[in-house]
Structure 1
Amino acid sequence: MKTFKLENEPKIKTGFKSPDHYFDDFSAKVFQQINERDAKVIPIYKRKQLMTMIAAAVIVIALMIPIVNNYNKSRELDEATLETYLTYQSNINQYDLIRELDTKDIEAINKNVVLEQETLEDVLSSSPNIENLISE
């Protein structure tokens, strides 16, 4: 193998040239341009404060989403909707409903229901299954 000596080999020109006397007063030109330019400085502590406020707002909004959803869904059912639902559910019978009633519910039912003697007689006389009604 032939020995390679860097000092003796011909050099290839790079193709990049700097203008004549460019670096003589380069530092003076750079300092002059720096002094002319007014850079707007944003302090780091204000940027952190802004980011903290944005993060807090995102967290508050994220925590409010489930609350708003639950608030919109919690509407009371009217009696007709509840009665229709219970009527068409074939797997629920009267004994299941009675078992779920509390004493407060039973007292509320007794206060709301007022039977007159005439109404009771009309129902019993018009019903063909009077024996089933009496046994229940």
Structure 2
Amino acid sequence: MKTFKLENEPKIKSGFKTPENYFDDFSEKVLQQLNEKEVKVIPFYKRKKTLWTAAAAVVGFALLIPVINNYRANSTDLDEATLENYLSYHSNISQYDLIQKLDDSDIEKLGNDVTLEDETLEDILATSPNIEHLISEQN
């Protein structure tokens, strides 16, 4: 690699030049320009409009928060009775469709043993017209 010597290389001249005596009266020119600028005054009545608008926006949002919370709470919650009625009256849903939709937590809940008294079991079997169907589902 070739050695580079800064002192021996030709210098590039800058394309910018300052006029003569430019910095002698520079501070005076700047001070004159600063004194000529006018300060913009905002009248108080215009400021009142922005304050009233901001206050109205805050009150509006404060009134909308309970309405939005109530809407979200009512729209997402299903009670158990509604869900049970829907499933019982729609006969096109089979038990296999329901099994496919269960997740792990639902399966764990179903795994808990449900104890039935003998009398309750006898009443269910006595009042059910399709005992054969109930027995075949258990197997």
TM-score (norm 2): 0.46
Structure with max Cα Rg: 1
TM-score (ref. length: structure 1): 0.47
